[in-house]
Amino acid sequence: MQQNDFRVLTINPGSTSTKFAVFLGDTTELNRNLRHTDRQMSPFKGRPAIQQQEFRFAAIERELGDAGIALDSLHAVVGRGGLMRPVASGTYRVDEIMLAELREARYGDHPANLGAILAKSIADAADVEAYVVDPATVDEWQDVARLSGSALIERKCWGHVLNTKAIARRFAREHGKHYSDLRLLIAHLGSGATVSAHQDGRMIDSTAVQEGPFSADRTGELPVIELAKLCFSGRYSLSEVERLLFGEGGIYSYLGTRDLQEVERRIEAGDALATKVFNALVYQIAKAIGSMSTVLEGRIDGLLITGGMAHSSRLIAKLLDSVHWIAPVTIYPGEDELLAMAEGALRVLRGEESAQEYGTSFAGSK
């Protein structure tokens, strides 16, 4: 079997879309982003994500059939890792323990939980293995990073691990080095933001969910006493507060849009509030990068900036004014998570690493 003969299907379910791609080795054969309308999703409103399994499976199967890609031509299927137990970085074989936890939404309900479930359904039909790669709950933090300042609350490691790790490996390859030999700062700037510190091939600290800078629709860190007052004001239920923090915060809270390009159009039109919010966004990102640089004691081989916001030349230029002195900067605009998942499976298929067993893995804090 030649290395470029391995055909891998990768699946990334989102709230209103199902993205999937087929790779033959490192070459993309098929790439689809199925947008699901409000009408299509209305039967599932307020129901657990698992209820969408058959709907999404049928959509993927139909598209593969129309493209002439037979299931028996696949060598592996990879799903986006959902909300699961803390694990070490790597490629994990989808097993019954993982499936049970995702179906029960034991660690939280999210459309990404369908990734492994859909991958396993298709892999079984193709008689191949199903995997997940670097799920959001990969936990490699050093112990000192876990303390929050209150014995009642422990920091939880959860962020954009898949793209972050893929970019770290890519940077290492481009410089003829091993990821494990580098000290890196990585800022993933998308609908959410994760700023992380990497040493010895591990993500030893990061801005977890609802920490760090605000982003498109997430608040990031907030003044805790004011947040407590808001929660006990009687104006909002728990679910409403969660939505205000995660979905209706950040840029959306101030400007009513999640689209950074729209914000820049408003700036060009002279909108003072849009300018203020944009400047504050860059300011908070820069502060998070500067803060995380102390985790690596200022000895940093590279500052890597990635994610959808990295497409903005205005944002990058302003951000570099504040952080260029910290370390050499490399920009990787966008996030190719489907490719990152395929790369994880290919490393296993090519014998470069072994698939890990989820049922026996539990990293970080239990």
* Residue 56 identity: R
Same domain, 312 and 169: yes
Asked if 81 contacts 136 with a C-beta cutoff of 8 angstroms, the reply is yes
Q: Are residues 348 and 324 in the same domain?
A: no
Residues 114 and 220 in one domain: no
Residues 121 and 207 in one domain: no
Give the residue-averaged pLDDT of 58-68: 94
Task: Say if 86 falls within a structural domain.
Answer: yes
Looking at the predicted structure, is the pLDDT value of residue 365 above 50? Answer: no
- 120 with 60, same domain: the answer is yes
Residues 191 and 87 in one domain: no
Assess whether 77 and 117 both reside in one domain.
yes
Return the number of other C-beta atoms located less than 10 Å from residue 206's C-beta.
30
Of the listed ranges 4-18, 58-72, 139-153, 329-343, the one predicted with least confidence: 4-18
Instruction: Report yes or no on 147 lying in a domain.
Output: no
Say yes or no: 129 and 197 in one domain: no
299 and 342 assigned to the same domain: no
Contact 270, 150 (CB under 8 A): no
29-62 b/e with 16+ CB inside 10 Å = b? Answer: ebebebebeeeeeeeeeeeebbebbeebbebbee
CATH number at residue 315: 3.30.420.40
The verdict on residue 317 lying in a domain is: yes
Which pLDDT band, with edges at 50, 70 and 90, does 140 fall under? very high
Scan for tokens 């390859």, then name that residue.
173
Query: What tokens were used for 235?
Result: 């104006």
Q: What is the pLDDT of residues 333-353, one digit of tens each?
A: 998 899 999 999 999 999 999
Q: What is the pLDDT of residues 284-299, one digit of tens each?
A: 999 999 999 999 999 9
| Burial class for 328, CB neighbours closer than 10 Å (0-12, 13-18, 19+) | exposed
3-state secondary structure of 132: strand
Task: Tell me, yes or no, whether 166 lies in a domain.
Answer: yes
Packing angle of the helix pair 272-293, 313-323 (nearest 10 deg)? 40
Percent helix / strand / coil, the chain, rounded to 5: 45, 20, 35
What domain count does the chain have?
A: 2
Q: Which is it for strands 302-307 and 184-189: parallel, antiparallel or unpaired?
A: parallel
pTM of the model: 0.88
Asked if residue 293 and residue 255 are part of one domain, the reply reads yes
Position 366 in a domain: no
- The rounded distance, in Å, linking the Cα atoms of 267 and 265 is 5
- Rounded to an integer, the average pLDDT of 151-162 is 91
Residue 15 has pLDDT above 90, yes or no: no
Does 102 map to a domain? Answer: yes
Residues 316 and 346 in one domain: no
**Paired sense of beta strands 76-79 and 129-133, if any:** parallel
Residue 361: which pLDDT band, with cuts at 50, 70 and 90? low
Query: Is residue 365 in a domain?
Result: no
Structure token digits, residue 153? 């609350």
Determine how many CB atoms are found less than 10 A away from the CB of residue 180: 12
User: Is the model's pLDDT at 238 over the cut of 80?
Assistant: yes
State the chain's mean pLDDT as an integer.
Answer: 93
Range of the domain at 195: 161-333
Question: What is the percent of the chain with per-residue pLDDT over 70, rounded to a whole number?
Answer: 97
Does residue 1 have a pLDDT over 60?
Answer: no
Q: Is residue 241 part of a domain?
A: yes
DSSP class per residue in 27-81: EEEEEEEEEPPHHHHGGGTTS-GGGGHHHHHHHHHHHHHHTT--GGG-SEEEE--
Q: Express each pLDDT in 169-201 by its tens digit.
A: 999 999 999 999 999 999 999 888 999 999 999
Helix (H), strand (E) at residue 337: helix 337-349
Dist. CA 206–CA 217, nearest whole Å: 19
According to DSSP, the β-strands at 202-206 and 193-199 are antiparallel
347/308 same-domain check:
no
- Strand, helix or coil for residue 200: coil
Task: Label residue 263 by pLDDT band (50, 70, 90).
Answer: very high
